[in-house]
Structure 1
C-alpha cells in the first residue's frame, strides 16, 4: 500500500455539491454528498450514504447499492424512469468502494478502481464521451485506480491512488480546474495538484485537501466559497487562506466546510441562512470557526444547511430548516449548531438539498427533512421534522421461497432455515409460543433443511430436503396432519408422508405431492376439498382419488387444484362461483374433475373462490368469482370456464389472493389486478383494477406470494418485498402501517447480510 492511499483510508470525508432551485419553490437547490467508508462494529462492515437533490443512495455491507426518491433524469440507476419511495437496488456489477450524488447524476467507484456514472449528462458529467442521459450505470472513460469521487451540480471529480485529481462535465466557471472554461466529456487532470486525499464538489466550485492538511479551491467564487479572501473566479486551484491540519471537507451550494485535526469546524462562503454556524448571517470570504463545536469527526453540507458528527456519536445541524432538515422538530433556521434529536451512535452523515441522512453504528440508516419525491425511503412522501428509520435496508436476504398466510408470512433462506413474521395467535410463526405478533422476521425453531413452504389461514407447512412435511399453527380441523386437533407453536411432522416434493395450504386444509405423482390431503373437508370422495374431516393424510402424474397443487378457501405432467388441470371441492372451471356451478365435487378447454399449463394458483393458470406460451387464464375484477378480463362477471387475462404475456409466475391476483413477467416486473382495499396491488392507490397494473418500483423479481390482503415478492438477489395490509406486522418492515407500495422486509437480528 502506498503512503498516500494509506492516508486516504484514514480520512473520513463527506463531500457535497448542490443544484438549481426548482421553479416556484423557494430554496429548492440541491447538494451532492459523499460518505467515505466508515467501519461499523459487528457483522456490518462498511456502509455508505449519499444525498442527491431529491433522492438518496445507500451502500450496504455486502457491497450492494440502493436508491430511493426522484428519478426524473435516471439518477436512481434503475434502468427505468419513475420516482421511488422505497429503496431499490442499483445493478453496479461489482462491489462498491466510494459513492457520491449530485442533484441529477450519481457516481460510484467499484473495488476494481473503475468509476461508474448514471443520470443526467447534459454537460458530459457522466464522463462517457457523450451528452446522453443514462438510466443505468456506465463506465467513465479512461479512469483506473480511483479511490474516491465527488459530484458537483453538473461536474464530477475523482481522486486516483497517486494523489492526482481528475474532472469532467460542466466548466463554465472553471470548476474542472484545467485552466479553461471548456466543458469536458471525458476526464481531464486538474492543474497543479498532487498528494490529494479527498475532494468535494459544490454548485460551481470544487475543493481538495492534500496530505499536508492544506485545502485548495477553484471555480466560481461569487460568495467567497473558495476562501481566498476574494470573490474572483479561479480556473485553477488556489489555496484557502489560513487553514492547516484539515482532515475532512464538504461543499454546499455556495458555502464550504472543513474539519481540522483538532476537531474544530471551519466555514466560509454564503451565509444567508446561518449555514456557516458563526451566529451571524454574514457572508465570509475566508474561513471562520463554527461556534461551539469540538471533537468533530465528519461533516456534510446541504444546499443551505450543514451537519457535523462528534466523536461521541451525536449529530449537530445548523442553517436552513424550512423543511425540517435540521432534525430538531422545528422549522426555524439556526445560525449555530443544535443537536439532532433522537439519534446516537452516528458514524456517517449525508445531506441532500433539503433532507439529511445518518448511519448509526448498528448499521441502520435514518432520514429527515423534505420528502416529496420519496427521498426519505419510508414508502411515503410525508416530510419529517425528526429522524425516521429508512425501511427496506439491511433486509432479509438469501431467500429462495416465500408464502403468505392470511395474516402471516414465511420465507425459506438458501441455508434451509425458515423465517416467519406477522400474526401469531395460533403459533403459526413457529416460535414456540402463541399470541404476540412478530413485526420482523424470526426463525422458526427446530426446522432445518427446508426447501419449500406454504401458508394457510392460520397454519404453516414446510417440506424438508428428506421429503418429510412439517406443520405448525391452527389445528382444529386437523390441518397439521399429526393425528390430533391440538394447535402447535412448534413444527410437528405430518404423519405417514415421505418423498414429498411440493405442498400447498388452503384455508383450513393441506395438500402434498409425492415424488410418485400422487396427491395427498388432510384437514377440513366440508366441501370435498380433500378429494377423497367424502366430506369427512381428516386428521391424517388421505390420497386424492384418481390422480397420477401430478407435478403441482394449489389450495383455495374450499377448493383444490392439481396440475398434471401432461399440462391438464384438475379441480375438486366447492364450486358455487365456478372456481372448478368445469362450466358448472353444481354441488361441490368430492373427487377431481378436469378444467375445461385448458392445456399446456405450467403453473396454477388458487384464490378464495377463483383460480389462475399459466400456459406454456406465457399467457394467464382465470376462472371463478370476479366480483372485484380478480379474473383480469376487464369485467366483473363470474366465469365458469377459463378466460384469458388481458394484456399479459411472458408470465413466469402467478399468485391468487383472496379476491385479487398477481403475476411476474419474464422481464422481472410484477403485475396485479382485483381487490385493492388494503393496497395489496402495490400501485400506490386503493383502487380496484379489472385489468393488470404494474406494481410500483419492483424489477428483477422471480416470484410472488399472496393471501388475504398482503403480498410478497422475492427478487433475483434473494431480497424480499412486501405490501398491503399490515395490522399484525405481516409485511415484516418493523411497523403495523399498511403500505400501498412495496417495502423491503427487514433483516432479523444476528443474521449476516
Structure 2
C-alpha cells in the first residue's frame, strides 16, 4: 500500500513540474511577442514623428499669372489714325477713313482731325496700322472695323492677291462682332489673335503673306491652351503659357520669333521657357501723343524682335539688330539681298525700364 502511495506522489510531482515548465514557455513567448509589438510601435511612432524631406509639389512649381487688365491699351495710333478710350469707356478715333476705320458707316478720302465717337463700354483697343482697328468691351465682346480684305475682320470665305491689291473695295465701315468671351486681343499686320477667359488662344485672318504663298484662316482657330498673355505686332505674335513657356508664330525672317529655321511660321513653336512676360511689336502699351498732330508725320517703327523677361527679372531679345552676325535676307519689304545683323538666339537686353 505504501508503495502505491509513493508512486502516486512521484507521478503528481512530475505532472506539476511539466505544467510549470509549459507555463514558463508560454510566458516567454508572450513576453517576446509583446516586446516585438512594443518595438514595432516605437518604430512606427518614430517614423511618424521623423521630419520628412520637403519636396516641390505641382502647385509650388514655376507658374505664371498675369492680370491682362493691367495691360490694356487705351491710347494707340500713328500719323494715319489715333484711337483713344476716355475715362467713361468711350472709344474715339480720328485721322484717315479710307477703309472706314473710324466706324461711322462711311468711307472717304478726307483726313478727320477731330475725334469721332466709335463705341461705348470699351476697355482695350489695338490698331493694326494696316487700315483696321479692333476693340474689346467690358463684357468680353471683340469688335472691329476697317480694311477687311485679309479676313482679320472675318466675313471672307477666301483670300486672293487681287483682294489685297484692291483692299479699299473690301471694307467694313461699321463695327462688326468678331469673337466673344475675350479677355485680351491684338492685331497682327493682316490678322487678329485673341485670348479667351479659359486660357485659349485663337487666330484668324492672313497669318502671313508673301508672293507665291500665304496662310489664311477664314474662321477663328484655336492654336494654344493654358495661356495667360498674348502679343501682336507687324511681324509676329507670341503667347505666354501658364508654365512659363513662350510660343511664337508669323514672320521670322530675322529670327525675331526666337526660332531658328523657317522664315514663315503658321503654327506656334516653342521659343523659350522660364519666362514671366513677353513683348512683340512694341513694349509700351500706349503712345505718348495726346493728339494726332504730335506724331509730326513720323510713323513708329514696329520692333522686329521678341523680348522676354525671365523669372529672375532679366531681359532677353532676339531678331533684328541683335548680336554680331550679318545675314542676307530674301526679297523682303521691297528690298533685294537685304543685309541685316540679326539672330534667333535670345541675348541679354539692357532694357531701360520704360512703361510696360
- Tell me if TM exceeds 0.5: yes
CA contact (8 A) 1:578 1:624 kept: yes
**CA-to-aligned-CA distance 1:713-751 (integer Å, 9 cap, x gap):** xxxxxxxxxxxxxxxxxxxxxxxxxxxxxxxxxxxxxxx
Report the Cα distance in structure 2 between the residues aligned to 1:489 and 1:586, rounded to whole angstroms: 36
The offset of 1:460, in angstroms, is 0.4
The offset of 1:608, in angstroms, is 5.3
**CA-to-aligned-CA distance 1:53-108 (integer Å, 9 cap, x gap):** xxxxxxxxxxxxxxxxxxxxxxxxxxxxxxxxxxxxxxxxxxxxxxxxxxxxxxxx
Q: Any gaps of 5 or more consecutive residues in structure 2? A: 1-71, 158-162, 164-169, 282-301, 325-339
Structure 2 partner of 1:568: 245
Structure 2 partner of 1:594: 270
1:541 aligns with 2:226: no
CA contact (8 A) 1:510 1:521 kept: yes
Local SS of the residue matching 1:609: strand
The offset of 1:419, in angstroms, is 1.2
In structure 2, the CA distance between the partners of 1:400 and 1:415, relative to structure 1 (3 Å rule), is: farther
CA contact (8 A) 1:559 1:574 kept: yes
Mapping 1:328-407, distance limit 5 Å: 401-404=74-77, 407=80
**CA-to-aligned-CA distance 1:186-221 (integer Å, 9 cap, x gap):** xxxxxxxxxxxxxxxxxxxxxxxxxxxxxxxxxxxx
The offset of 1:423, in angstroms, is 2.6
Local SS of the residue matching 2:99: coil
Report the Cα distance in structure 2 between the residues aligned to 1:608 and 1:506, rounded to whole angstroms: 12
CA contact (8 A) 1:523 1:539 kept: yes
- Corresponding residue pairs, total: 235
CA contact (8 A) 1:527 1:558 kept: no
1:489 aligns with 2:193: no
Report the Cα distance in structure 1 between the residues aligned to 2:226 and 2:172, rounded to whole angstroms: 33
In structure 2, the CA distance between the partners of 1:644 and 1:467, relative to structure 1 (3 Å rule), is: same
1:614 aligns with 2:309: yes
Report the Cα distance in structure 1 between the residues aligned to 2:154 and 2:132, rounded to whole angstroms: 11
Which of 195, 198, 202 is matched with 1:520 structurally? 202
Local SS of the residue matching 1:438: strand
**CA-to-aligned-CA distance 1:320-369 (integer Å, 9 cap, x gap):** xxxxxxxxxxxxxxxxxxxxxxxxxxxxxxxxxxxxxxxxxxxxxxxxxx
Local SS of the residue matching 1:525: strand
CA contact (8 A) 2:279 2:307 kept: yes
Local SS of the residue matching 2:207: coil
Report the Cα distance in structure 2 between the residues aligned to 1:593 and 1:527, rounded to whole angstroms: 18
Comparing both chains, which one has the higher relative contact order based on Cα–Cα distances under 8 Å and sequence gaps of 6 or more? 2
Structure 2 partner of 1:637: 341
Normalized per residue, the structure richer in strand is 1
Report the Cα distance in structure 2 between the residues aligned to 1:454 and 1:560, rounded to whole angstroms: 14
Local SS of the residue matching 1:517: coil
In structure 2, the CA distance between the partners of 1:400 and 1:557, relative to structure 1 (3 Å rule), is: closer
In structure 2, the CA distance between the partners of 1:525 and 1:422, relative to structure 1 (3 Å rule), is: same
Mapping 1:182-221, distance limit 5 Å: none
Q: Name the Cα RMSD after superposition.
A: 2.9
The offset of 1:617, in angstroms, is 4.9
The offset of 1:471, in angstroms, is 0.6
The structure with the larger Rg is 2
Structure 1 partner of 2:33: none
Local SS of the residue matching 1:576: coil
TM-score, with structure 1 as normaliser:
0.29
Report the Cα distance in structure 1 between the residues aligned to 2:176 and 2:125, rounded to whole angstroms: 14
**CA-to-aligned-CA distance 1:145-199 (integer Å, 9 cap, x gap):** xxxxxxxxxxxxxxxxxxxxxxxxxxxxxxxxxxxxxxxxxxxxxxxxxxxxxxx
Structure 2 partner of 1:450: 122
